[in-house]
Amino acid sequence: MEKFAFIIHPIDAKRDVARKGGVYSVAKYLPESAVEWAIKHKEPIVASHITGLKSLTGAEAEGWFIACPLTPRQLMTLPTEFVIKRLVQCGKLAESLGAKIIGLGAFTSVVGDGGITVAKQLDIAVTTGNSYTVATAVEGTIDGAKRMGISLENAKVAIVGATGSIGRTCAHLLAPRAAEIALIGRDLDRLGAVAAELNGACVTLHNDVHTGLRDAEVVVTVTSAVDAVIQPEDLVPGCVVCDVARPRDVSVRVNRERNDVLVLEGGVVAVPGADLDFRFNFGFPPKTAYACMSETMMLALEGRYESFTLGKDVTVAQVNEISALAKKHGFHLAGYRSFEKKVEDSDIEMRRRNAEERRKKKAA
């Protein structure tokens, strides 16, 4: 039996702590700052025992969700040394359970040097899961564009957070397919370095999200922002947005106000195993998971206990290799989710029709 672990953390301090029930229910009545102060002094715990993971090859694995009690804001603003210490504690707990690889979930993968320092202090492999996150984001973006009637070869594609590891590789994979690619980020020099790698592509650089999204029909967004960066007024009718960020980059206002655009949450994956049980509700349907979780699981099933994706860079070769492993073991994109709900085919068609109507009104 192969063994793995995966680090999770609360996204919303009050909500996620309160839902544990019992004495923790009081969290919803406290100021967020008070809840964050309290959990800062808690050590990592085992959140659940995962069983029933079974590959198409017959290989089996069990694992554990390890809870790191820090919010996105804390992970990004507390001293890096403190956060790294917490993550190493998570890894040591996983080691004690027998895990041979641990995945860094959500904001734990962007702290410091992207897991390199953590890996040096552990005796097990570490992966950020970003290779498979990129693979599913690109696959979902291409399919979503097709369903909304967008021809990529004639479209402007925008990458928000283009200097990050995921954004940069998404740019590499989508640039050859697009008429124009807009790279959006805070540092124009770093954006220029990414652009220089996209040989022959028509590239524009933007350090303002709202300007960069102008006329973009396809958007992949993957920033490390704590708050939403994309608003309803930023998007053209019929636009497809793949939001890979956690917490999400796309404002909830888009869901309320724009029924003519399609927002997809990146990296929602079907996981193999008839008896698979995560024993933890992270907002997905049963037997589905984030892509970063899935990368950790498929590496365990493969018995490949190495730090597959580490640091700030993800290469096209890594994306292709992890995609092949996914196919081998039975992981695949599980339809789509948007703002915590399943996206039905009828919903996509409705949004496509609404976009056509809105374009006609603007042209009239």
**Residues 83, 74: Cα–Cα separation, whole Å:** 8
DSSP string, 131-153: HHHHHHHHHHHHHHHHHTT--GG
pLDDT at 226: 80
pTM higher than 0.75: yes
Beta bridge partners of 277: 51
pLDDT at 22: 58
Q: Which residue is associated with the tokens 């954006």?
A: 191
User: Which residues, 6+ apart, have CB-to-CB distance to 318 below 8 Å?
Assistant: 131, 308, 309
Q: What are phi and psi of 301, to 5 degrees?
A: -60, -35
**Residues 2, 62: Cα–Cα separation, whole Å:** 6
Residue type, 64: W
The count of other CB atoms within 10 Å of the CB of residue 342 is: 14
pLDDT at 335: 85
- Helices 345-363 and 130-147, interaxial angle, to 10°? 60
pLDDT at 24: 61
Residue 7 · residue 104 · CB < 8 Å: yes
C-alpha closest to that of 224 among 193, 246, 250? 246
pLDDT in tens, the chain (364 residues): 999 999 999 988 777 876 665 546 777 767 888 889 989 999 999 999 999 999 999 999 999 999 999 998 999 899 999 999 999 999 999 999 999 999 999 889 988 899 999 999 999 999 999 999 899 999 999 999 999 999 999 999 999 999 988 899 999 999 999 999 999 999 999 999 999 999 989 999 999 999 999 999 999 999 988 889 999 999 999 999 999 887 789 999 999 999 999 999 866 899 999 999 999 998 788 999 999 999 999 999 999 999 999 998 899 999 999 999 999 999 999 888 898 788 989 999 999 999 999 998 888 7
**Residues 138, 79: Cα–Cα separation, whole Å:** 33
Domains of the chain, start order: 2-131+269-332 (no CATH), 135-267+336-363 (3.40.50.720)
Residue 137 · residue 220 · CB < 8 Å: yes
